[in-house]
Each structure stands twice: as structure tokens, then as C-alpha cells.
Chain A
């Protein structure tokens, strides 16, 4: 079974631009979560989608948004990029959402560099 895939793997943008990252979950998984990883702030939760609905959101500005499609694939968008948005963006999928032992499977991440 294929794992979580994220595209693109690397991305370079300039300040003020917008970017869209894509995540394809493991087949059959209906929940997708997004995390931002930076050296300074570590791993921070962005949001979670389940059955095309955002069910959980972290403490990020409105420039960060996401969506999920009927096939469970998810995209996240960052508008008006800032230098501080440079990070590794990780996507994780799981079978369902809202359970204690729900195991999340992570993709390799998209490395975003903002110049």
C-alpha cells in the first residue's frame, strides 16, 4: 500500500506570493492533518480535515488555509508569504478522526523556502 505522498517536495517562493501544497493520504484514510516544522517553533499543528470538513484548527493566522476533496486528498494554501513561513510542512493521514489511539502516518514533507 502506498504511503502518504506530498507534492512538491521542495519549493522556493518570494515574499508576498502564495503557495499551494498537496497531500495524498494512504488509500482508505479519510483524515488528513497538517503540521509546520521549524527549528525555532518545532512541530506545530495547523489543521485537520475529515470527510471534507475542517474539524480542528491550530493557532495560525488566516493566511493559512486548507481544504479536502471527496477523494480525501488535501491541499493547504499560504497567502502573502512571509520569511517566517519557511518551514517543512508535513501532512499526516489516518483512518478516522477523533479517537485517542488514532495512528497518524506522515508523508515526507514539503520544504518551503521563502526569499
Chain B
């Protein structure tokens, strides 16, 4: 099965910072990648699909890039509500529709 590896697993940052999370695929997945945000006790929320397309209603401070095997999620100007866990997911080689292990973004 295709594997996704996110880095870092934990990230400490301050309000206003710019942060980047990386997701690496064990084989090429073109642009079939999504990013989700999950807050404690809540369901995941789709942020970005097709590697770089912002889901409707998601603030423009979120952006995604990459193709093939390396992808990034960038948050420009962290807001208090952005502290959460972020997951990437591949939708190229299935089943399974693999998720990354998650990146926990914490307040410094």
C-alpha cells in the first residue's frame, strides 16, 4: 500500500506565524491529495483538495502546493482557531485511501 509521511509530527508556533507542514508519498500520486483539519472532539474538516484547491469557506491564509510525491500545507498568519491536528490524505492509489499520521499544531 502507498504510505504518506507527514513532517513534523508536532509543531509549536505563535499567533501570526507562518507555518508549513509537509506530506510525502511513497509513490507518485499526481495531485490527488487532500488536507484536513481536526479539532479536539470534532470531525475532520476538508481544507484543501487536489493538492492546491481551497475548499469553499476556508480562509485564504491556508494554501497547498505540490505534486507527485511531495506536498505542503502552509498557514500564513496563524490565528488562535488554527491550532489543531492536520492530516493529509491520498486519493490516487486505492484502496485504501490512506491518511498521513497527522501533525499537531500547538501554541508556543
A and B found bound together: no
